[in-house]
Amino acid sequence: AQTVTQSQPEMSVQEAETVTLSCTYDTSESDYYLFWYKQPPSRQMILVIRQEAYKQQNATENRFSVNFQKAAKSFSLKISDSQLGDAAMYFCAYRSASDNDMRFGAGTRLTVKP
Amino acid sequence: NAGVMQNPRHLVRRRGQEARLRCSPMKGHSHVYWYRQLPEEGLKFMVYLQKENIIDESGMPKERFSAEFPKEGPSILRIQQVVRGDSAAYFCASSARIYYEQYFGPGTRLTVT
């Protein structure tokens, strides 16, 4: 069974600084997708970034980038120039290319200090 | 293009009552997924539906829970005879095609008193 582990229940960053959120996963599949979702206090799930496992290049979306290490089964999220609006729960998620469901980690609560 | 719509946003039910949660997917999306989020936890998959068909209900409790996605109208997640343990946030997501990324609705927070 695929599992997703986020080992940091809480993280804190100073505004304008950079923070990295960790995620590891366990799978025997070779073709899959990885996602980072942001859940602000409104509880809306917002897709931040996605990575296809077959792509070696790390995905980037503006201030958000990932460090995808397939062999190590690691998928960390880097937030540069942190803003107050980045404060939220961040969930790492995995989906096999042959499965219907997504597996989520337990989440990391990010606090941004002014 | 409106996003995924869910209603109600908050639902309070007494033990033993029925809860009906509605989800309207994004325009053009015919794949709907339901997830449950318990406090301080990540989302857990419940069921995946296409129009008029349940494709995968492996995450759905065997009793009291059912889901449908009729040809016309929203997808419905139905919980009969609710118990306190059913209190959670229920999220619906939709996608344009199977295996495409899923877009989430704002969730329905169910409280069972």
A111 vs A14: CA distance, rounded Å: 8
A79 vs A3: CA distance, rounded Å: 24
* Residue B35, burial from CB neighbour count under 10 angstroms (0-12, 13-18, 19+): buried
- Closest by Cβ to A101, choosing from B41, B42, B56: B56
Q: What HEC string does A4-34 produce?
A: EECCCCEEEEECCCCEEECCEEECCCCCEEE
Which of B104, B108, B109, B110 has the highest number of chain A CBs within 10 A, making it the mutation to test binding with A? B104
Q: Is A106 on the interface with B (CB under 8 A)?
A: yes
Encoded tokens for A106:
């337990």
A55 close to A64: Cβ distance less than 8 angstroms: no
Residue B39, pLDDT > 60, answer: yes
pLDDT tens-digit series, residues A34-84 = 999 999 988 888 999 999 999 889 999 999 999 999 999 999 999 999 999
pLDDT tens-digit series, residues B44-66 = 999 999 988 999 999 999 899 99
